[in-house]
Amino acid sequence: MNASERLLGLLKEEMAIYEILLELATKKTDIIIHGKIKELDETVQMERNFIKKLVELEEKRENTLKEMGKGEGVTISEVIKTLPLEEAMEFNNVKERLSAVLKELGERNDLNMALIEQALEYVNYSIKAISEALEEDKGIYGEKGSSKGYTSLIDKKA
């Protein structure tokens, strides 16, 4: 197997992992919306494992590029220009699919980040509202340790 074939294989492996990460990001959206913290933690751990694998593949990709005589930071487009037509077409297909997956993954991650920020704002607002209600009420106990007439902080009718 020559260097360009190895490079193509590495790019395909990276693309497969990015597709899995996209699936996980899509799953994460539902998890965040439903507030399933344990599942979110498990999903994030799975993502970490895939990202570690991507780092390894990236290192192999860079070594393969060096073997091909390409400098650091060379793009797939630049590599494609140096390949025979048939190989170039296959690389181009992988590049386009990879670009599409990365774009969709970025958009999904932006959505998830916005959902998490919204959830945090709601939690902070709730904490502030409860804290202010307790401060105004001066607690639930009277002067001699007896219980005051406790009123609920949450309107059960809502």
Please report, for the chain, the start and end positions of each structural domain, with discontinuous segments joined by +: 3-137
Question: What pLDDT, on a 0 to 100 scale, did the predictor assign at position 101?
Answer: 97
CA distances in angstroms from 82 to 19, 72, 75, 86, listed in the order given = 27, 16, 12, 12
Question: What pLDDT, on a 0 to 100 scale, did the predictor assign at position 74?
Answer: 83
Q: Provide the CB-side half-sphere exposure for 101 (13 A, CA).
A: 19
Helix (H, G, I), strand (E, B) or coil at 141: strand
> DSSP string covering 42-107, please?
HHHHHHHHHHHHHHHHHHHHHHHHHHTTPPTT--HHHHHHTS-HHHHHHHHHHHHHHHHHHHHHHH
Which CATH fold topology does 3-137 show? Methane Monooxygenase Hydroxylase; Chain G, domain 1 (1.20.58)
Question: What pLDDT, on a 0 to 100 scale, did the predictor assign at position 123?
Answer: 84
**From CA 11, how far away is CA 17, in angstroms rounded?**
10
Burial of 92 (0-12, 13-18, 19+ CB in 10 A): middle
CA distances in angstroms from 91 to 10, 69, 73, 103, 135, listed in the order given = 11, 17, 17, 18, 65
Amino acid at the residue 49: N
Question: What pLDDT, on a 0 to 100 scale, did the predictor assign at position 153?
Answer: 52
Question: What pLDDT, on a 0 to 100 scale, did the predictor assign at position 141?
Answer: 60
**From CA 18, how far away is CA 4, in angstroms rounded?**
21
Question: What pLDDT, on a 0 to 100 scale, did the predictor assign at position 158?
Answer: 43
The token pair at 113 is: 């980040």
Q: Provide the CB-side half-sphere exposure for 21 (13 A, CA).
A: 24
Question: What pLDDT, on a 0 to 100 scale, did the predictor assign at position 142?
Answer: 61
Residues of the chain with pLDDT under 70: 134-158
Nearest to 8 by CA among 61, 71, 44: 61
